[in-house]
Every structure is written in structure tokens, then in C-alpha cells.
Amino acid sequence: MNPAIPLANSLHRATADALRRQAPFSTMAEHELLWLVQHLSVSYFPHDAVLLEPVANPPEVLFIIKQGTVTGATAAGQTVLQLAAGEMFPLGALLAGRGAANRYLASTDTFCYLLPAADFHALLAKSTEFNDFCTRRIASLLEESQRAVQSEYALALDDESRFARPLASLIRRPPLSVAAATPLADALAAMETARVGSVVVTDAADQPIGILTLKDVLARVTLAKVPLVTAISAVMTPDPATLPAEAPVADALVMMARQGIHHIPLVEAGRLAGVVSEKDIFALRRLSVDGITSAIMRCADTVRLPALAHDIGDLAHSLLAQGMDAENLTAIISSLNDRLTERIITLESRADAALTGLHWCWLALGSEGRMEQTLATDQDNALIFDAADDVQRDALLAFALRVNNRLDACGFPLCKGGVMASNPKWCLPAAGWQQQFSQWIDHGSPEALLNASIFFDFRPLAGDAALALDLRAWLNRTASKNPRFLHQLAGNALRNRPPLGVVRDFVLSEDDAHPHTLDLKLNGATPFVDAARIFALAAGSPQTNTAKRLRAAAQALNLPDNELADWNRGFHFLQLLRLRHQHGQQRAGQPPDNHLDPDTLNPLDRRILKEALRQARKVQARLAMDYGL
């Protein structure tokens, strides 16, 4: 026997074990990973050595970093990538059969595994997991992270352990039941009278033998044209899934999810004790968009609104736990906060005779204007009114102060910078707003523009929307014609660099208030927000939402679909991380913020955070290229 074979196998196994610490190798089949290992070679690159240059020809190998750090920079020398152990490059060039776009240098003494291009393409064909990761890198990582989040939160949606409580606690009325021979007409009439969505069919011993729900009625009775004199046993679901009345609520959720059902009969000693529905479970806290919206719109007393604001937070926690993506979740939070604000405005304006006949519009600014609110947000708002109503400005300011104070009572703190409608500086007629924007556009210093950036995200929230829409149309025409203004905005945006390190993964704050953290809002999400705002203003787009701004600008920028998708995925992962961080703080009884210690993240989320911040650098690189910065 060749004595080198056991040694070779041992080395292969050790290499495979090392690779398994990172995606996608962690999910690849054993034989696929060993095939990869057997086709790798290892090379050493000293500090500052060039691994790959931007050239026209496709790269000859895939690099997998074994040890050390590699920097990727544009032809102009701007750093856009920091790669560490387990990461691969240049995937895009290999997949597209083109030359590498970036220059790759060893930031430290570095060892890399090398996989020949032909073997790279062979592995793409062999391994579904490897193919998925290479073609959908950030998307694949996000999906893996989302599954982990759902598992982590599955049975801990709030601090009251409501999913551990017994199902019997949800029973509000005696169960509706009928015998198997009951005509459909009688059973349906009983459901209508009881105003319930299901009826249980029981035997002589009161044991459940079937169930019929309103959803079943449509398919099995109405569309099937079954006569209503037919016995319910002919159309019921036989042998329904049941649970003991003392079983926890969580068991019902799991059963509903696995079997695709929405009603479960509960039994005690084999006898029917009640019926629990999916609606019953989530009605514990009115955890539905429709439920909260309806409650807000029915509310006639502003004193009750803080409790509804608390329900919005509970719903956000629930949806986060169920794995909802950040784009939709922040939009839902913002929409519900909109409804709450609108209701406060309606109740306060309705009671103020001084506002009768006036034309005004409440403007949402900042994250609310962009429909990107998280669980930690203060107020940013303003008022625009018709010039003819300037004599009533004091009445508008008094009204705005009441609204600002009501919002504060609902958990939206007063803006420390005074960016609120009750501030006379931000309660202006249409001509006054045009004058203010003109001042920023034509004569604003970089510092003034930095402080004014949130005003460019305004959207109408309540009142006469035409005032805001006319201002937006004027602003887009004016801004797009002023290259100096856009150049200054771009310069400001590039002053805020994503905190990626060369030696360490991240550059962390040394601030005494938040040591060893990075600010997910300022240094993570804001680079995307700032760039998208500039792209939208340059293109004259009316969009205020960051993802929609990027999508609207993609055609004008001639941006490939996959690059745009990665920008938005990176942005939304940072938003999701903010939500998860804030949720954890609230559950621990702490005030929510955006300062995250990355050492608290699992390896997968640390890797996605790095990828998201790289996408922020790519967005900034595009901004720098467009404006020659």
C-alpha cells in the first residue's frame, strides 16, 4: 500500500473540516466537498502582493482565502472589498466569463487555496449548494440567516410567554357542534347565528368525528352545488386533528403550520371542550395589520392611542419572529405609524375651529418619509400651508404642538434637533419652502446640506396633499438642474465610510457611551440612503423610499439587475439587523438604539454584515465615479 494515501486523505479531511466553518462549504455534501479539496492547490502571497489585476481575459483560478486578508480596489484605487478567511473571489468574473473588475492585494501575509477555472465550473454543475451560493451569494446567505432567525424566535414572540399558556385559556364560548346527520342548511344557519367560522361534528359520546369550516363550504358545497338538505357528514373533514385543552398554544401553531389548517377542536377526557382558531391565537394582542388599523380608525379619544402604539410594536416583534423581510416589515411599521399619526391629526384638527377652511399638509420627513421606520424612531415632521392662510400661522403652530406632544406620548420622542411642525422654522407656506430649498440648493454649505438632508425625503401624510406634491415637482426640477448641489451632496455622502477594517473585520467605535460597537444606522444604512437620495434627485424621481429610489435609478445608471439586487439586499439586511438588535433590547427592558457589538453575532450574520457593508462601499464607489470624487 502506498504510505502517502493515508496522509493525503488526512490532509484532505483537515482541509474539508476547515472549509466547513464557512458558507457554502458548511452545507455541501461530503463527497462534493472532498472533490473540491482534491482539486485545490495552496499559494502564499506576502503583504502588499498583487493576487489579481483588472484585465480583459477571464481569470484562470478561483481564490479561496485560507489565512490572511485581501483588499479589493477599483482601477481608481478606491477600496471596495475586504475579504477574510473562507471567502472567495472573483466570483462575478468567473461566472460571467469576463476579466476581473477589481485589483486584489494581500493586506497581510496571506495563504489562498486555488481552484482552476475549469474545476470551478465543474463544481457548479456538481453541487447545488455551491452553485446557489456563487450565483446568489448575498441572497443565499440571507436565506440561511432568516431560517436561523425564525428558529430562534419561533416560540418567544413576547415576554408574556403567551404561546406557553394552555389552549383552554383561549376558549371564549361553548363549542358549536352538530350530529353527523344534521342537514347542511341547519349547520350553516347555526354557524351564522353563533358567528363562528367552523362547526364540529360529534358522535353520541360527544367525541369529535369531523369538522366543517367556512372555507370548506365554498369548495365542497357552493362550487360543488351540493344540496343543502345533504347531511353534513357527506362534506365534513373526517377525523379532524385535535389537541388536549391543556396543551400549550405553541402546539396549536405547530399543528396549524404542518397540516395547513386554521381550526382545531380541543378535547378533555375525549369529549369536545372547545375550538381554537388561528384568529383566536393572534387576537391575544390584536396582532394583525387590519386589527390594529381598525382599532386606530375607531378610536375617538387620543388618550387611548398610546396603547395602540404599543400594539404596533408587538405586531412588529411578531412579524420579525415569523421571518418577514425588512423591506416589508419597515413599510408595515411606517404604515401603521402613519395611521396613528393621521388619527391624532384628525382628532386634534377636528376639535380646533381656528383651522376651519385652512389649506395645509402635514409632511413626514426622514425615515418616516422614506417608509423605513424601525423600532427606535423619533419625530421628524413639518407643515406646509397655502400662502393665503399665513395670518393663521399661530393657529397652525398651536395645532402642530398638540400633535407633536400626542406623538411623544405614543412613544415617538420629540426631535432633539427641533425638526418638527411646531417649530416656526418648519411651518411654512409653499413659497417659504421653495425659498428654503433654494437656499440649500444654491448656497448651502456642506454642513448645512448634511443637516438638511432629511427634508429632501418629505412626503404628504395628512391634509391637502396637492401642496406637497406641487413642492416635490418643483424641487425635482430645480435640484436636477444644479450639478454643484448634487456634487456637494455626493461629497457629503462619501465622508461617511462603511466601517470595514483591514486587519479586523470592522472598525468599531471607541466612544465611551457605546464602546466596541458600530452604528448600524449612521455607518450601515445611511450610505445607501444618501446615495439613493442623490440618484433620485438627479433623475427627478418622486420616490422617497430608498429601495424604490435605487430601482428607479437603475435604468438611468445602466445598472445590472444582479448588482441592484445585491445593493438592496445589503441595505435590507442592515435594516433587519437594526430591528433584531432593537427587539432584543426592548425584550431586555433597555431603550432601543442602533449600536451593535458585532462580537455578539453568530459567524453567519457577521459574514453577511461584512457583505452588506461591502455593498455600501460599492454604492459609494458608483457615486464617486458619477461625480468625479
Integer angstrom CA distances of residue 140 from 80, 132, 147, 555, 579: 21, 7, 11, 25, 20
CATH number at residue 188: 3.10.580.10
- Residues 172, 254, single domain; the answer is yes
Domain final residue pick, 247, 263, 284: 284
**C-alpha–C-alpha distance, residues 603 and 323, integer Å:** 19
Any domain includes 291: no
Any domain includes 426: no
Q: Give residue 234's pLDDT.
A: 95
Any domain includes 398: no
End-to-end CA distance of the chain: 64
Q: Give residue 503's pLDDT.
A: 52
* Domain span holding position 217: 167-284
| Tens digits of residue pLDDT in 120-162 | 999 999 998 898 888 776 666 666 666 666 555 544 444 345 6
Any domain includes 513: no
How far is residue 543 CA from its own chain's centroid?
A: 18
pLDDT above 90 for 451: no
- Residues 266, 223, single domain; the answer is yes
**C-alpha–C-alpha distance, residues 212 and 483, integer Å:** 67
Least confident of 94-103, 132-141, 196-205, 310-319: 132-141
- Residues 125, 171, single domain; the answer is no
Q: Is the dihedral angle over the CA atoms 315, 320, 322, 327 positive or is it negative? A: positive
Domain final residue pick, 284, 317, 336: 284
Q: Are 568 and 547 in contact (CB under 8 A)?
A: yes
Integer angstrom CA distances of residue 617 from 138, 496, 510, 531: 15, 10, 22, 11
- Residues 13, 57, single domain; the answer is yes
Count Cβ atoms below 10 Å from residue 59 Cβ, excluding itself: 21
pLDDT band at 2, cuts 50/70/90? Answer: very low
Count Cβ atoms below 10 Å from residue 447 Cβ, excluding itself: 9
- Residues 119, 191, single domain; the answer is no
Q: Give residue 97's pLDDT.
A: 85
pLDDT band at 102, cuts 50/70/90? Answer: confident
Q: Give residue 504's pLDDT.
A: 65
Q: Are 313 and 586 in contact (CB under 8 A)?
A: yes
Domain final residue pick, 242, 268, 284: 284
- Residues 262, 205, single domain; the answer is yes
Residue type, 509: S
Grid cell digits, residue 302: 387620543
Integer angstrom CA distances of residue 116 from 38, 53, 87, 151, 578: 12, 17, 16, 38, 40
- Counting Cβ atoms within 10 Å, is residue 628 exposed (0-12), middle (13-18) or buried (19+)? exposed
- Residues 224, 118, single domain; the answer is no
**C-alpha–C-alpha distance, residues 509 and 505, integer Å:** 13
| Tens digits of residue pLDDT in 71-94 | 888 777 777 677 888 889 998 889
Any domain includes 91: yes
Any domain includes 243: yes
Any domain includes 188: yes
CATH number at residue 71: 2.60.120.10
> Percentage of residues in the chain with pLDDT exceeding 90?
53
How far is residue 20 CA from its own chain's centroid?
A: 28
Using DSSP, state whether 48 is helix, strand or coil. coil
Any domain includes 624: no
Q: What's the number of domains the chain is made of?
A: 2
Note the residue count of the chain. Answer: 629
Q: Give residue 105's pLDDT.
A: 94
pTM over 0.85: no
Tell me the DSSP string of 318-385. Answer: HHHHTT--HHHHHHHHHHHHHHHHHHHHHHHHHT-GGGTT--EEEEE-HHHHTT---SS----EEEEE
| Tens digits of residue pLDDT in 8-29 | 477 888 899 889 888 888 888 8
- Residues 112, 191, single domain; the answer is no
Helix (H) or strand (E) holding 557: helix 546-557
- Residues 179, 279, single domain; the answer is yes
- Residues 110, 172, single domain; the answer is no
- Residues 101, 39, single domain; the answer is yes
- Counting Cβ atoms within 10 Å, is residue 373 exposed (0-12), middle (13-18) or buried (19+)? buried
- Residues 181, 247, single domain; the answer is yes
Rounded to an integer, the average pLDDT of 545-558 is: 88
- Counting Cβ atoms within 10 Å, is residue 553 exposed (0-12), middle (13-18) or buried (19+)? buried
| Tens digits of residue pLDDT in 459-515 | 999 999 999 999 999 999 999 889 999 999 999 999 998 988 755 678 888 788 889
**C-alpha–C-alpha distance, residues 419 and 351, integer Å:** 25
**C-alpha–C-alpha distance, residues 43 and 536, integer Å:** 45
Residue type, 483: P
